[in-house]
Amino acid sequence: MPLDLSLYLVTDAGLCADHGLEETVLAAVRGGVTLVQLRDKHASDAEMIDQARRLKAALAGSGVPLIINDRLEVALAAGADGLHIGQDDGDVARARAALGPQAILGLSVQTHEQLARLDPSALDYLGLGPVFATPSKHDHAEPQGFDGLAALVAASPLPSVAIGGLKVEHAEAVRQAGADGLAVISAICGTPDPEAAARAFPRR
């Protein structure tokens, strides 16, 4: 299955609570989301494994992969399709070795130094940002804007997805910056109609 980064939904337990996590994710997939990342900074590993297994079952047959944020052990235990890690979330080589060659492995990158250091052979894609400041991540790095994003994309050895404060109206600028897609939390989760919110993004 080729990796389609065009519209990447990252979940948030609080923002997805209105319609329920599974229902929000399924609605978003009906609306055109191409990749789902389960992200929960507060759940225990056991809770996250349970959520991941339920989401994985719900997504069966959709062709949309389920990626786990940060926690390698959760990704392994839940049989998820992949893992997304940040700069401080452990070793890329170790994650690749544990997950095997078929799994999707993504890394968040904020700077050119980080780009210069990474081993692209162990990774499938990069998350680049934040493009804008966002209340959805309390400890985010300095916002890049679209010029900073374009510079990171130009230096990236891998497919990339932009993240951070992105809404429908930014899709064209993200495309022009060269990224392969947008990753969003609040533009879909926490909206009154997650399916319509996803559908509003331009197809690629």
Q: Specify binding-site residues.
A: 37-41, 69-70, 89, 108, 134-137, 165, 185-186
By CB under 5 A, which span of 48-56, 79-87, 119-127, 147-155 interacts with Mg ion? 79-87
Active-site residue (options: 56, 71, 137, 199): 137
Residue 204 annotated among the catalytic residues of the structure:
no
- The distance of closest approach from Cβ of residue 171 to ligand TZP in the complex, given in angstroms and rounded to an integer, is 13
- The distance of closest approach from Cβ of residue 177 to ligand TZP in the complex, given in angstroms and rounded to an integer, is 16
C-alpha torsion sign, points 95, 25, 140, 164: positive
CA-to-CA distance for 88 and 27, rounded, in angstroms?
32
Q: In this chain, which residue has its C-beta nearest to Mg ion? A: 86
Active-site residue (options: 6, 71, 96, 108): 108
Residue 86 contacts Mg ion per CB under 5 A? yes
Residue with smaller CB distance to ligand TZP, 163 or 198: 163
Residue 166 contacts ligand TZP per CB under 6 A? yes
Strands 66-69 and 160-163: unpaired
Three state DSSP letters for the chain:
CCCCCCEEEECCCCCCCCCCHHHHHHHHHHCCCCEEEECCCCCCHHHHHHHHHHHHHHHCCCCCCEEEECCHHHHHHHCCCEEEECCCCCCHHHHHHHHCCCCEEEEEECCHHHHHHCCHHHCCEEEECCCCCCCCCCCCCCCCHHHHHHHHHHHCCCCEEEECCCCHHHHHHHHHHCCCEEEECCCCCCCCCHHHHHHCCCCC
In this chain, which of 84, 140, 170, 199 binds ligand TZP, going by CB under 6 A? 140
Residue with smaller CB distance to ligand TZP, 78 or 144: 144
Q: Which two tokens stand for residue 113?
A: 């130094």
- The distance of closest approach from Cβ of residue 98 to ligand TZP in the complex, given in angstroms and rounded to an integer, is 23
By CB under 6 A, which span of 25-33, 57-65, 135-143, 196-204 interacts with ligand TZP? 135-143
Residues in the site for ligand TZP, rule: CB under 6 A? 10, 129-130, 134, 136-137, 140, 163-166, 184-187
Residues in the site for Mg ion, rule: CB under 5 A? 70, 86, 89
Q: Which residues are catalytic?
A: 39, 108, 137
